[in-house]
Amino acid sequence: MPVIRQLSEAAVNRIAAGEVVERPASAVKELIENALDAGANRVDIAYADGGKTLIRVTDDGCGIPEDQLQLALARHATSKIDGSDLLNIHSFGFRGEALPSLGAVGRLSITSRSRGATAAAMITVNGGEMSQPRPAALGQGTVVELRDLFYATPARLKFLRSDRAEVQAIGDIVRRLAMAEPFVSFTLSDISKGGVGRVTFRSDAQTGDLFDALHGRLRQILGAEFAENALLIDATREGISLTGYAALPTYSRGAAVAQFLFVNGRPVRDKLLVGALRGAYADFLSRDRHPAVALFLECAPELVDVNVHPAKAEVRFRDPGMARGLIVSALRHALAEAGHRASTTVATATLGAFQPEPSGGAPIYQMDRQSGGNIIRPSSQAPGFAEIQAQYGRVEPDDPEQISVEQSHPLGAARAQLHENYIIAQTVDGIVIVDQHAAHERLVYERLKAQMEASGVRAQALLIPEIIEFSANDCARLLAVAPELTKLGLTLEPFGGSAVCIRETPAILGRINGENMLRDILDELDDQGETSLVSERLNAILSRVACHGSIRSGRRMQADEMNALLREMEATPSSGQCNHGRPTYVELKLSDIERLFGRT
Ligand code: ADP
Ligand code: MG
């Protein structure tokens, strides 16, 4: 017979901890939120070994009176609500679960001195066992230290990811909360053994009005480039307000890594809101580009339920359509007003892409028969038209003999170029339409891969090294992979704390926009996580790099150039799809075409 029994308090807390504390970053989040709820002006966060061995959060907030320390650690004990109205919540916390949960899965100590108290007191919990409060030394505020997270729940310990991934997640949480509270100072330090107590993030309290403060904070966290490209958003509709900054479409990212959304001051990742962002930018961005925003929705607490997710990362609006509508209309309006500004940026960038290269012209496709026929040479080394013609013969589209030769190739003989990007070729039994931009991208990628396998991608030194500003965090991430990037023909060096210097770029790409390329590489690093193999990581970065060399789109090509491209594609592995998985060409058999016209 099954026996029903009441679980012990310690077991209940461990079970609850599973929801609230998923990983070190969730513990960091709970502790910072407690500090902010306590009215702190500064919050200092330290961790060791990705937060697995130590997390310490120090604040100068109101503190916890000695006689309430034990209660603070009890389940469902909170000073933030009285339980009578769960729809009227103005603090980050309200569930009274974080501290008991942390105490159940790690070694927790709290030292605190409340305002007006003559001394500080300290209490500890180890795996659910609570000590009596005892005297301690502390000026004012609270220090919460969590050691050996999950030591009491070995199963959870096993599922933790690498220190690097945890550090990244902790950094992400700290930055999000720092955006939510621009008037509070934050520091984040890595105090792992062997380290030197490195401060990895610092943001001093901002001053001025809320918009100034937020702008200053976003500049520190997202970089000067974001701040300069950001539009101020300030709109209200039916009791909901939307404020913050949204970047021009030209400052978009390759992944949704710069979207920071807050509801009543609380960072959220909410599908509804992300969908609204997509809708707002739909006219301006292709689906694979993502807008960069930091936006704050504020409404009466009863219009939104924050109690739908244990870690409170999601919220539920009473009227979701209204929140969505406000975001879409406010952003569209701001973007339309900024249209001129945006379009000048785009125009400049586009003109830049069309500027002739110093060596006189875009890269020319060139098959290299000796090495197996899949080498594209950049224009500076390319043999030029004369040599291509020597290999393929001068192709006049109307030369019947030549066409029959070309036609016998799988991708056929080029007959026309449409809309400056689509090559129409005739094959023996059908037609082929090639997306020249996508094809070029793929060929550059394959060429880069071949170079890398052989001897490393050939680099070309820049006459004038390019210096690009990033946030300190992004700089550090780029420089951490600098040795890998060198193999890809991209040489970076530190340049002060918040800029990097590009010295060399892959020769095959010709002139590129270094900044855009580095941003894409950052996005790629975000997407990768830490699990992938080095070779896979390099290929993924190469693929992004290859996009920046794809200048073929929008360029009129001569028949012989087009044919050279087709032959190149035939000789190149997986040239049938671009680096984003889209096809580089489609083939229609005559029989298909006949069916289209109802001939068969
Ligand atoms: P909640 O935040 O949901 O109330 P917690 O378990 O996180 O629950 O905290 C329990 C209580 O302990 C809080 O309500 C608060 O009174 C007190 N507390 C926790 N951290 C701090 C802190 N850093 N400063 C002052 N009081 C704190
Ligand atoms: Mg809390």
Please indicate, yes or no, whether residues 215 and 198 belong to a single structural domain of this protein: no
Instruction: Give the burial string for 459-488 (b: 16+ CB within 10 Å, else e).
Output: bbeeeebbebebbbbbbbbbbebeeebbbb
Q: Is 199 helix (H, G, I), strand (E, B) or coil?
A: strand
Residue 472 half-sphere exposure, CB side, CA atoms within 13 Å? 12
Please indicate, yes or no, whether residues 527 and 509 belong to a single structural domain of this protein: yes
Token duo for residue 449? 């891969």
pLDDT at 521: 86
* Closest atom of ligand 1 relative to the 92 alpha carbon: 2
Q: Are 472 and 498 in contact (CB under 8 A)?
A: yes
**Residue 3, class by beta-carbon neighbours within 10 Å (0-12 exposed, 13-18 middle, 19+ buried)?**
exposed
Q: Where among 185, 203, 221 does a domain terminate?
A: 203
User: Residue 423: phi, psi to the nearest 5?
Assistant: -95, 130
In a domain, 383, yes or no: no
Count of structural domains, the chain: 3
Where would I find the H helices in 298-395?
Answer: 320-337, 339-354, 384-392
pLDDT at 435: 86
20 lines ligand 1 (CB under 6 A): no
pLDDT at 400: 65
Please indicate, yes or no, whether residues 400 and 540 belong to a single structural domain of this protein: yes
In a domain, 362, yes or no: no
24 lines ligand 1 (CB under 6 A): no
**Residue 180, class by beta-carbon neighbours within 10 Å (0-12 exposed, 13-18 middle, 19+ buried)?**
buried
Range of the domain at 315: 210-338
60 lines ligand 1 (CB under 6 A): no
- CA 396, CA 378: separation in Å to the nearest integer? 25
pLDDT at 363: 27
CATH, residue 128:
3.30.565.10
- CA 140, CA 128: separation in Å to the nearest integer? 27
Q: Are 397 and 417 in contact (CB under 8 A)?
A: no
Q: Are 191 and 48 in contact (CB under 8 A)?
A: yes
Tell me, in angstroms, the distance from the centre of ligand 1 to residue 72's CA.
6
Please indicate, yes or no, whether residues 274 and 197 belong to a single structural domain of this protein: no
Please indicate, yes or no, whether residues 91 and 216 belong to a single structural domain of this protein: no
- CA 392, CA 398: separation in Å to the nearest integer? 15
- CA 382, CA 375: separation in Å to the nearest integer? 10
Q: How far is residue 444 CA from its own chain's centroid?
A: 25
In a domain, 428, yes or no: yes
Q: Are 471 and 222 in contact (CB under 8 A)?
A: yes
Tell me, in angstroms, the distance from the centre of ligand 2 to residue 96's CA.
6
In a domain, 3, yes or no: no
Please indicate, yes or no, whether residues 188 and 46 belong to a single structural domain of this protein: yes
pLDDT at 370: 28
Residues of the chain with pLDDT under 50: 339-392, 394-397, 530-531, 552, 581
Instruction: Give the burial string for 400-439 (b: 16+ CB within 10 Å, else e).
Output: eebbeebbebebbbbbebeeebbbebbbeeebbebbbbbb
In a domain, 114, yes or no: yes
Tell me, in angstroms, the distance from the centre of ligand 1 to residue 223's CA.
33
CATH, residue 473:
3.30.1370.100
CATH, residue 326:
3.30.230.10
Please indicate, yes or no, whether residues 279 and 332 belong to a single structural domain of this protein: yes
In a domain, 15, yes or no: yes
In a domain, 268, yes or no: yes
Q: Where among 187, 203, 219 does a domain terminate?
A: 203
In a domain, 289, yes or no: yes
Please indicate, yes or no, whether residues 150 and 223 belong to a single structural domain of this protein: no
Please indicate, yes or no, whether residues 253 and 307 belong to a single structural domain of this protein: yes
Pocket test of ligand 1: the residue of 31, 62, 78 to mutate, having most ligand atoms within 8 Å of its CB, is: 78
181 lines ligand 1 (CB under 6 A): no
Please indicate, yes or no, whether residues 400 and 492 belong to a single structural domain of this protein: yes
**Looking at the CA of 35, which ligand is closest?**
1
Nearest CA to ligand 1 atom 7: 98
CA distances in angstroms from 374 to 22, 123, 487, 499, 571, listed in the order given: 49, 69, 21, 37, 5
Vertex 152: Cα angle to 137 and 55 (nearest 5): 40
94 lines ligand 1 (CB under 6 A): yes
Helix, strand, coil share of the chain (percent; to 5): 40, 25, 35
pLDDT at 76: 85
pLDDT at 528: 64
Q: Where among 178, 203, 228 does a domain terminate?
A: 203
Per the rule left: phi > 0, alpha: psi between -120 and 50, beta: everything else, 267 is: beta
- CA 145, CA 147: separation in Å to the nearest integer? 6
CA distances in angstroms from 419 to 536, 554, 556, 558, listed in the order given: 35, 7, 9, 14
103 lines ligand 1 (CB under 6 A): no
- pLDDT tens across 141-157, in order? 999 999 999 887 888 88
- In the block, tokens 């389940």 appear at 75
pTM of the model: 0.63
- CA 282, CA 290: separation in Å to the nearest integer? 10
Please indicate, yes or no, whether residues 406 and 551 belong to a single structural domain of this protein: yes
pLDDT at 550: 56
Token duo for residue 30? 């709970």
Q: Are 173 and 179 in contact (CB under 8 A)?
A: no
Residue 388: name the closest of 533, 562, 268, 228 by CA.
Answer: 562
User: Residue 142: phi, psi to the nearest 5?
Assistant: -140, 140
Token duo for residue 196? 């030197």
Please indicate, yes or no, whether residues 172 and 215 belong to a single structural domain of this protein: no
Residue 373: name the closest of 409, 408, 424 by CA.
Answer: 409
